[in-house]
Amino acid sequence: MRYLGGKSRTARQIAGCINTIRQPGQPYWEPFVGAGWVLARVRGEPIFASDANQALIFMWQRLQRGWEPPAVVTEEQYAIARSGGYDAALTAFVGFGCSFGGKWFGGYARGNTSPKMVKRSLLDKSKWFENVHFFAADFLTCYPPTSSCLIYCDPPYDDTTGYGAVPKFSTIKFWDRVRLMETCGHTVIVSEYQAPDDFTCILEMPTKTEMRTVDNGREARTERLFRLGEHTPIQPGLF
C-alpha cells in the first residue's frame, strides 16, 4: 500500500539495522506503523505496532482476523468513504490505498495505482503480522506497551506535508519524547533527514522521492537513522 512518507524503498535497510541492534527477546515497538513496510521485515517476538490514526489500526486488526479489502473501488465509493460512509477499516484502505501518492484522501488515484494491487500488497504483508499487537495511540502522550523496548520511529518529517487524519504534529515535542523514552530504559531509532545535535546518525540511505524535478527526474534525498548520544555508524554490509 502506498503511504505518504512510507518506507517501501528503504525498509530492507532499516529493518536490517533494527535486527542488528535488537537484543534477543527484546520487545519491539513501532509507534508510527503506517503502511507496515518496515514492520513486515522485523523478526522475533514480542512485536507491538501503533499509530495515532485509529482507522489505520482498525484496518490492520481486521486484516489479522481474515478480512479481505475490495479489489475495486470506484470514484463514487471513494467519495462515500471520504464523507464517513464506511466502517473504519474500509475507510483507511480507501483513504490511503486508493489516494494519489498515498496521502490521506488526497484525491482519487488513477493510472498505475489500483485497489487490486493494494489489496494484494496488504494481504502479503499481513501474513507476517499474525502475532503483532496493534493498538491506537499517540506516541507523544501514550505509555510504551512494555519495558526496555527497541522503538523505531518514522514520524512526520519536519517541514513536510502532514495530513488531516491526526492532530498537528510537533517535532519539538517528538524529540523531547524520544529523550524521555531513552531515559526510561528504551532504545529508540528515528528516521528523519536531520536531527538535533545530541543525536548521532547511524545509517545513511540515499533514495529518491516521488517529487518530480524540472528535468523530469525524481528528487534525490538521503534518509537517515538517528540515535540519542554518541554511537558508531552501522555498516550496511552487515545486513
Number of folded domains that form the chain: 1
Asked whether the predicted pLDDT for residue 161 surpasses 90, the reply is no
Write phi, then psi, for 50 (nearest 5 degrees). -145, 170
Q: Do strands 199-212 and 218-228 pair parallel, antiparallel, or not at all (unpaired)?
A: antiparallel
Q: Taking residues 137-156, what's their average pLDDT?
A: 96
Asked whether the predicted pLDDT for residue 2 surpasses 50, the reply is yes
CATH of the domain at 31: 3.40.50.150
Residue 1 lies in a domain: no
Residue 233 lies in a domain: yes
- Distance (Å, rounded) from C-alpha 139 to C-alpha 155? 9
- Distance (Å, rounded) from C-alpha 40 to C-alpha 131? 12
CA dihedral 183, 152, 209, 77 (to 10 degrees): -120
More confident call, 212 vs 37: 37
**pLDDT at site 212:** 47
Q: Model confidence over 70-121: pLDDT tens digits?
A: 999 999 999 999 999 999 999 999 999 899 878 899 899 876 568 898 999 8
pLDDT level of residue 214 (50, 70, 90 thresholds): very low
CA dihedral 206, 179, 31, 115 (to 10 degrees): -30
Asked whether the predicted pLDDT for residue 224 surpasses 70, the reply is yes
Residue 3 lies in a domain: no
Contacts of 27 (CB under 8 A, 6+ apart): 46, 47, 48, 145, 146, 147, 148, 149, 150
Give the range of the structural domain holding residue 220, as residue numbers without chain letter.
11-238
**pLDDT at site 166:** 74
Residue 126 lies in a domain: yes
Residue 15 lies in a domain: yes
Asked whether the predicted pLDDT for residue 235 surpasses 90, the reply is no
Residue 220 lies in a domain: yes
Residue 149 lies in a domain: yes
3-class SS of residue 30: strand
pLDDT level of residue 6 (50, 70, 90 thresholds): low
**pLDDT at site 215:** 47
DSSP state letter for 1: -
Q: Is the pTM of this model over 0.85?
A: yes
Query: Cβ distance 50 to 134 under 8 Å?
Result: yes
Asked whether the predicted pLDDT for residue 211 surpasses 60, the reply is no
Residue 186 lies in a domain: yes
